[in-house]
Chains A and B, each alone.
Chain A
Amino acid sequence: MTIDKIGQDKNVILEVRDLRMHFPIQKGFLRRTVGYVKAVDNINFFVRRKETLGLVGESGCGKTTTGRCIIRAYNPTAGQILYRKSDDKVVDLVKFKEQELKEYRREIRMIFQDPYSSLNPRMTLLQIVGDPLTVHENLKGKELEDRVAMLLQRVGLRPEYMRRYPHAFSGGERQRIGIARALALEPRVVVADESVSALDVSVRAQILNLLQNLQEEFNLTYLFVAHDLSVVEYICDRVAVMYVGKLVELADTETLYLYPRHPYTEALLSAVPKPNPRLRSRTNRIVLEGEVADPARPPSGCYFHPRCRYVQERCKTEEPALRDIGNDHFVACHFAEQLTLRGVLDKEKLVG
């Protein structure tokens, strides 16, 4: 199914259509291809301007790969990534060659997961944050330093630290450096790949607040890749849930958390530990049996059927398509309408 929103809705800045990213598995002396890991397999979604779309799922479900396809760090196997330029023209990023992409590399930027491995230890902050400015705007000397100083200040770092190396900074500060680097070219879309996962609670709150401030200030659109559902609920306007390379549900945050329509979303929400001992859900928590399917050898039919509580014959053979069940709520489940699923517990009801 194609959603085709970008044609109708002027507010849609990015639309992914039938995106596939298959990595070949090679074996033997001749490196013959013996199969494919279908890391991303036929996914569709769209992002509106100035909104935050969360991409959640367990490790290995393809959420990072999707993010990397969008910044074109990978060459997708098939599909389209439609991007609306600032002059309203829609272009397909998949078709572009490296040279033509340069223009978009400054508009779509990425904040990486691990603040330790994503900063070159031999470069000073000036070099790290200034690099995109040198490449794209040819800035040098005093001019460059001024811009970097301004950026560092904007993300809450002292400009005097410009000549220091990353090792002198803590995890939270390094993540700020990564954010400054991503924002250096005033991008329109930022892919934040697990950008708060490696941080401590108190620092995580600082970075989340910073991301929100920056979004308001620079009118940013975020694609927020994360596995922590409480963080996603906090920062995202809409959420897309992925399972083994497929999108299983996409809806606005409140609907998804309160009225999930896909059994996997239900299980995922129920597995989140709630930070309130009075809400202990030991007895009624849904614990998924078994393991996440292997994307190289996915099960037949619906990929989730071996672990699903509501599985029926049809699920084993027929693959459900992602369909709209009203109000921009997309689900890939044959029985989305019939099932009554449990969302996040309503606190008031429970305490009272």
Chain B
Amino acid sequence: MNTNNLLLEVKGLKTHFFLDEGTVRAVDGVDFTIERGKTLCIVGESGCGKSVTARSILQIVDPPGRVVDGQMLLHLRRKGSNASEIEDIIDLAKLDPRGVPIRKIRGKEIAMIFQEPMTSLSPVHTIGFQIMQAIQLHNTVSKQEARNQTIEMLRLVGIPKPELRVDGYPFQLSGGMRQRAMIAMALSCHPSLLMADEPTTALDVTTQAQILDLMLRLQNEMGMTIMFITHDLGVVAEIADDVAVMYLGLIVERGNVDTIFNNPQHPYTQALLRSIPQVGPKARQRLDSIKGMVPDPYNRPKGCPFHTRCVKRIPGVCSKVLPQTVKLSEDHEVRCLLYGGNNHEGAL
């Protein structure tokens, strides 16, 4: 892996929610890196902490949640005095969630597309107003200039008649069009990292295909890095370069997309892949389902979080030792005791 080309390094990120009923460890020690221009997909079932990870990066975790530990190093490039590029490294975890520095990053360097385009756009403001706000906040431009940029952006994401739509309200657009407007807003300041939290889950397959195509096209045109959160393994196979599989706040396996789909090592990844129906000749084989369900967040299992549902668990070991991440190859990491993850004094 080319270390010079890193955009974001997340090390030991922990985000906990302090509730009356107890502490929910939504993200509990997540490490990953994203290279510039690549697409990282984070996959997992609901409640595994994938959305909270993304929100932690932007420091928009709602109270009572808080980033309690870890580092999130954002490598920012800017032009130096003599045309050379200077790389600044900012630790997002250290920034005050309400402070000025993080607000300069939100929307400008890291933008986010949310899952439900209806609830994440303001219903009482025009689309144009909402996009212009972001542009005017981060750039010194006149109102007219911002409006022109907005129309340009809407055209770029394929909204027909953008000069009229710019004054429209979200309810006048269909689901797919709203998601396009959301993407236009996210891209309006040319961010280095675009985080997309299940952007196509609420959409139909044909619209989903349009949106995925659009995102890939824009990635090529603008050289953007994408962090894509989804639970749909089909979508992952279509767009990812790298994949991180999450389970109960931990990344259990990480690798490039081909490795994850064709040579998965963690029992959870293997089970997940077996439990999806495939379109094609093999379609009618019986599905292997994973026994049980994701444990309740207040009663996380001790040891490996997956051991309660794992078919390959080692009795008496998996329930006690939290596996450490093991590097299987240059580009493939797994957190499982089957591959010797207990060498380093696994902490409970």
Contact = CB atoms under 8 A, between A and B. Distances in A.
Do A and B form a real pair?
yes
A202 interface: yes
A273 B238 contact: yes
Contacts of B278: 230, 274-276
B216 interface: yes
A73 B63 CA distance: 43
A281 B231 CA distance: 20
A205 B234 contact: no
B3 interface: no
Given A201-B45, A202-B272, A285-B213, A273 B281 contact: no
Contacts of A274: 234, 237-238, 278-280
Interface stretch (A90-98, A141-149, A330-338, A340-348): A340-348
A31 interface: no
B257 interface: yes
B347 interface: no
Interface residues of B, number: 49
Interface in B259-306: 261-262, 271-273, 275-284, 286-290, 293-294
B5 interface: no
A335 B163 CA distance: 38
Given A202-B45, A275-B237, A233 B283 contact: yes
Given A201-B276, A233-B277, A288-B206, A273 B232 contact: yes
Interface in A272-299: 272-282, 285, 287-288, 291-292
A202 B237 contact: no
Interface in B81-132: none
B208 interface: yes
Given A205-B288, A228-B205, A287-B206, 7 more contacts: A58-B206, A59-B175, A171-B46, A202-B293, A274-B234, A287-B210, A288-B206
B46 A347 contact: no
Interface residues of A, number: 52
B210 A288 contact: yes
B280 A275 contact: no
Contact of A201 (B205, B210, B233, B237): B233
A287 B213 contact: yes
Nearest to B238: A273
Given A203-B293, A273-B234, A277-B261, A268 B206 contact: yes
Nearest to A171: B46
A230 B279 contact: yes
Contacts of A173: 293
A171 B257 CA distance: 29
B174 interface: yes
B204 interface: yes
A172 interface: yes
Interface in A126-142: none
B235 interface: yes
Interface in B31-76: 45-46
B210 to A, nearest CB: 5
Interface in A172-192: 172-173
Nearest to A234: B277
20 contacts: A203-B289, A229-B205, A230-B234, A230-B279, A231-B277, A234-B277, A267-B206, A270-B209, A272-B279, A274-B238, A274-B278, A275-B236, A275-B273, A276-B237, A277-B238, A280-B237, A285-B209, A287-B210, A288-B209, A288-B210
